[in-house]
Chains A and B, each alone.
Chain A
Amino acid sequence: DIQMTQSPSSLSASVGDRVTITCRASQSISSHLNWYQQKRGNAPKLLIYAASSLQSGVPSRFSGSGSGTDFTLTVSSLQPDDFATYYCQQTYSTPHFGQGTRLEIK
């Protein structure tokens, strides 16, 4: 199994802040990395696929980068709607999610 480690596990930030969440794979996964946003009580929503491709309809303030073992999700200017939990997912081998990063309002 390829394990995914997200950091931080939780994060407090303010509206307008630039925020970066990191995901590290236990071995190289090329660019087989997706990012999801989940709000309490709702199903996850795909934000980024293949490490850096923005899913249709997702605001451009979200971006993804990285390859190999280290990946980042960046929100350029936090909006009130962005406070949620974020998960990375590797699909290089049997898919596996990270443990999640909870983004809270400061």
Chain B
Amino acid sequence: QITLKESGPTLVKPTQTLTLTCTFSDFSLSTSGVGVTWIRQPPGKALEWLAVIYWNDDKRYSPSLRSRLTIIEASKNQVVLTMTNMDPVDTATYYCAYTNYGSGSSSYWGQGTLVTVSS
């Protein structure tokens, strides 16, 4: 059973850098066609796609956030997302998800982690 879980700080100050870890099990990021995506959702608002890393180290970013985001494979079962220069508008629940390269669809999701940006 594929599972994913997000971890990281629940509170960050404006201008700080956010580092989130997605720890997953029952799949490998070295398997062809597999990816891990980060998505966020501000309270009461829609989903926003952030970034994806695929098995072949192909990395893609939201154009509007590209300059602030970095996604890496930190270990055989962890993907890390960093977002620089955090602002209160970045307050959101951040999700990681198992993603299929062919369809781009995300069929397994973590429970999400709420990150609040406030001084």
Contact = CB atoms under 8 A, between A and B. Distances in A.
Given A43-B109, A43-B110, A95 B63 contact: no
Interface residues of B, number: 24
A71 interface: no
Contacts of B49: 89, 94-97
Interface stretch (A10-18, A44-52, A72-80): A44-52
A44 B103 contact: no
Nearest to A47: B105
B74 interface: no
Contacts of B46: 87, 97-100
Interface in B88-119: 95, 97, 100, 103-107, 109-112
A44 B63 contact: no
Given A34-B104, A55-B107, A91-B104, A43 B112 contact: yes
A87 B61 CA distance: 20
Given A43-B97, A46-B105, A89-B49, 19 more contacts: A32-B104, A38-B47, A43-B110, A44-B95, A44-B106, A45-B109, A49-B107, A50-B105, A53-B103, A55-B105, A87-B46, A87-B47, A89-B104, A91-B105, A94-B49, A95-B37, A95-B49, A97-B47, A100-B47
Interface of A: 1, 32, 34, 36, 38, 43-46, 49-50, 53, 55, 87, 89, 91, 94-100
16 contacts: A32-B103, A34-B106, A36-B47, A43-B95, A43-B112, A44-B95, A44-B106, A49-B107, A50-B105, A89-B105, A91-B104, A94-B49, A94-B61, A94-B62, A97-B39, A100-B47
Interface of B: 37, 39, 46-49, 52, 60-64, 95, 97, 100, 103-107, 109-112
